[in-house]
Chains A and B, each alone.
Chain A
Amino acid sequence: MKNRFIASLLLGTALTFAAGSIASAGDKTVKIGALSDQSGLYSDLGGPGSTLAAQMAIEDSGLTAKGWKIDVISGDHQNKPDIGTSIARQWFDVEKVDVIVDVPNSGVALAVNNVVKEKNGVYINSGAATSDLTNAQCSPNTVHWTYDTYMLAHTTGQALVKAGGTSWFFLTADYAFGAALERDTTAVVTANGGKVIGGVKHPLNTSDFSSFLLQAQSSNAKVIGLANAGGDTTNSIKQAAEFGLTKGGQKLAALLLFLTDVKSIGLDIAQGLNFTETFYWDMNDQTRAFSDRFAKRMKNSAPPTMVQAGVYAGLAHYFKALEALGENPHDGIKIVDKMKSIPTEDALFGKGEIQPNGRTIHTAYLFEVKKPSESKAPWDLYKLVGSVPGDQAFTPLDKSACALLKK
């Protein structure tokens, strides 16, 4: 009896050891690549802040304490698809990166999308806008976290048409993003009984918009849709004020506007603009707490933009999936499937889900830029005017052209 007791004790110990060694045999190393525009016109809304967000996601996940080894490296795609893809390739082949995050600039984002699919990595895009990432060009390796052109069109665009903005003129950035945003917004405008009476395509990173604005002015369109981003949008808005477009009764639709853009235009000129984001630092105690921690570590003490917040939240969800898997299988499709099977919930974006096409669904918020007199702190810039539930803001699955849905 006693012998059997000892034997079973030994067996149990052995099993425990075996179990332990099986667990430790599971690969718990993860390498994150934060690919962004680190120095150009989108670097303030993504860039180094996105790398910081990734770093904070690692620290807050608590995985390091559980034996995981997680690193983050960053790269500058310079808004050039060829540079973006060659960095991505090198990261997968040489650096053994598991997941690429951020990637603003739709042109680069779509190109990198193909590389990640080919290498079976994980792609959590936060910075790019094009809705093609989860439509025609969707991939089983991709999660598109923060926002997209469909959402922007169906929130800001729709609200403006319903408020009487029935004729539109577009100022469009001449690349994948601008085209997608114009296309999605045009669909909303016409579906709501409005019409598009003209538009110009301007090169990316234009500093002088006066020519284009004069054309918009003489079109007599009620709404001038800005299908551009970053520095292009801030310059358009500033110069539209200078040329008296808004005083003449035309309304500017800043279809995509980020916190750093509003800050850079200044409240004097930006006040009253309506636009949509899925995250703002001053929403609730949780977002404020995160943003405080974030701003303390940013060089210019800026709170996170929605793109940077999306990098954080997307990675936090990725870590949840890894923890559920118990190890890093280094199999992109498997991890993304796991991410899709867990409902999303985090301090920054609230509750949501990742749809089978890779689109993350969460609430979108309509904001208005505050008047200078209403702003109490340097980054106190928005007031909330409404919200749209995720299932209404983003592409409904039956309208998505994603091949993954047709299985």
Chain B
Amino acid sequence: MQALYAQLLVGLINGSFYALLSLGLAVIFGMLNIINFAHGALYMMGAFCAYFLLNIGGINYWWALLLAPIIVGIFGMILERTLLQWLTGLDHLYGLLLTFGIALIVQGLFQNYFGSSGLPYAIPDQLRGGMNLGFMFLPIYRGWVVVFSLVICVATWFLIERTRLGAYLRAATENPTLVRAFGINVPRMITLTYGLGVGLAALAGVLSAPINQVRPLMGADLIIVVFAVVVIGGMGSIMGSIITGFALGVIEGLTKYFYPEASNTVVFVLMVLVLLVKPTGLTGRAA
């Protein structure tokens, strides 16, 4: 039984990453209608950004949490301005192919320069060590990841669903022409939204740097699972993707305990089941 609690908690930790990443994807899809396959590469860039900030600029983890999402977010906005904006109104497939291509190029470039084994990034001193919870030894850093990503997820949800800015955003998705008529700069808002989604990916990258190796392919391995999470949660649904992210982390954790061989397929089995029963995803509305 103790082992089970431990697995649930570990699942929650992984779920934090799924939630953060699928949240970014949901924001981008919900507002821009782009299936952002570059998300994994941008997540990886976040981790590399933290690595460079530390090793070249001497800037510590805490600043990296703030700076890396901004830097990568700006990169994302440049992408949106120069490439993605031309795809507005076209079929989803174009956006998917373009972002997939961007992901391959970015990953290829990083792999060319840094190899595939990855670079080490140490856990910040303040978060080292762990505490004994009775049923498991919880590394403090992992606990921090869960709490911090929960806060970020809720904040993002609040921003989009409960503030005036979020209302503009949602309105701009529904009817850009009308919103423009009210004197709101819709293209700029779209660019900023893409930047926000990308920033969330980069933030997840910084969070994961001390846990996983900072590797060029770290995002490629994760992105497929995260897409399954988004599909299960319902494309574009903010709360749906947060909840499914955490839930799937837990389910995956349990699978690792009961039948480890299936741990990297269980998410996809669930995806198939959900699509069969409810093609719009658990919280999605029919288009």
- A in complex with B: yes
Instruction: List residues of A whose CB falls within 8 A of some B CB.
Output: 39-45, 47, 174, 200-203, 205-208, 210-212, 214-215, 217-218, 230-231, 234-235, 238-239, 242-244, 248, 260-261, 263-266, 268-269, 299-300, 302
Interface-facing stretch out of B7-15, B72-80, B175-183, B228-236: B7-15
Taking CB atoms, residues of chain B closer than 8 Å to A235 are 212-213
Additional 14 contacts, C-beta under 8 A, given A201-B260, A203-B261: A40-B116, A41-B116, A206-B263, A207-B221, A211-B7, A212-B256, A234-B117, A234-B118, A235-B212, A242-B142, A264-B117, A264-B119, A265-B213, A269-B120
Partner of A238, one of B6, B213, B253: B213
Interface-facing stretch out of B107-115, B146-154, B159-167, B239-247: B107-115
Taking CB atoms, residues of chain A closer than 8 Å to B118 are 231, 234, 264
Could you pull out 6 A-B pairs where Cβ atoms are within 8 angstroms?
Answer: A47-B116, A211-B257, A218-B2, A235-B213, A264-B120, A264-B213
Taking CB atoms, residues of chain B closer than 8 Å to A244 are 130, 137, 139
Partner of A217, one of B113, B116, B137: B137
Say whether B185 faces chain A, with CB atoms less than 8 Å apart.
Answer: no
Residue in B closest to A245 when the chains form the complex, CB atoms:
B137
Q: Is the CB of A174 within 8 A of B213?
A: no
A207 to chain B, nearest CB (A): 5
Say whether B211 faces chain A, with CB atoms less than 8 Å apart.
Answer: yes
Say whether B215 faces chain A, with CB atoms less than 8 Å apart.
Answer: yes
Taking CB atoms, residues of chain B closer than 8 Å to A42 are 116
Contact with A along B120-140 (1 / 0, CB 8 A): 101100000010000011010
Residue in B closest to A211 when the chains form the complex, CB atoms:
B256
Partner of B116, one of A43, A206, A212, A238: A43
Q: Is the CB of A212 within 8 A of B260?
A: yes
B4 to chain A, nearest CB (A): 10
The tally of residues in B whose CB lies under 8 Å from a CB in A reads 41
Complex CA–CA separation, A208 to B261 (angstroms) = 14
Q: Which of B73-104 contact A (CB under 8 A)?
A: none
Taking CB atoms, residues of chain B closer than 8 Å to A40 are 116, 217
Say whether B264 faces chain A, with CB atoms less than 8 Å apart.
Answer: yes
Q: Is the CB of B7 within 8 A of A231?
A: no
Q: Is the CB of A300 within 8 A of B120?
A: no
B75 to chain A, nearest CB (A): 23
Q: Is the CB of B10 within 8 A of A201?
A: no
Taking CB atoms, residues of chain A closer than 8 Å to B139 are 242-244
Q: In the complex where A214-B3, A231-B118, A243-B139 touch, is A206 in contact with B264 (Cβ < 8 A)? A: yes
Instruction: List residues of B whose CB falls within 8 A of some A CB.
Output: 2-3, 6-7, 10-11, 13-14, 111-120, 122-123, 130, 136-137, 139, 141-142, 211-213, 215, 217-218, 221-222, 253, 256-257, 260-261, 263-264
Q: Is the CB of A242 within 8 A of B211?
A: yes
Taking CB atoms, residues of chain A closer than 8 Å to B212 are 207-208, 235, 238
Residue in A closest to B115 when the chains form the complex, CB atoms:
A44
Q: Is the CB of A231 within 8 A of B130?
A: no
Taking CB atoms, residues of chain A closer than 8 Å to B260 are 174, 200-202, 211-212
Partner of A211, one of B115, B122, B253: B253
Complex CA–CA separation, A184 to B136 (angstroms) = 32
Taking CB atoms, residues of chain A closer than 8 Å to B130 are 242-244
B262 to chain A, nearest CB (A): 9
Q: Is the CB of B136 within 8 A of A214?
A: yes
Taking CB atoms, residues of chain A closer than 8 Å to B257 are 211, 215
Q: Is the CB of A210 within 8 A of B13?
A: yes
Taking CB atoms, residues of chain A closer than 8 Å to B136 are 214
Residue in B closest to A217 when the chains form the complex, CB atoms:
B137
Complex CA–CA separation, A260 to B215 (angstroms) = 13
Partner of B218, one of A203, A207, A230, A269: A207
Taking CB atoms, residues of chain A closer than 8 Å to B13 are 210
Complex CA–CA separation, A47 to B115 (angstroms) = 10
Taking CB atoms, residues of chain B closer than 8 Å to A212 are 256, 260
Q: In the complex where A203-B263, A235-B212 touch, is A214 in contact with B7 (Cβ < 8 A)? A: yes
Complex CA–CA separation, A235 to B264 (angstroms) = 16
Q: In the complex where A210-B13, A211-B10 touch, is A231 in contact with B122 (Cβ < 8 A)? A: no
Residue in A closest to B111 when the chains form the complex, CB atoms:
A39
Partner of B264, one of A44, A203, A242, A248: A203
Taking CB atoms, residues of chain A closer than 8 Å to B14 are 208, 210
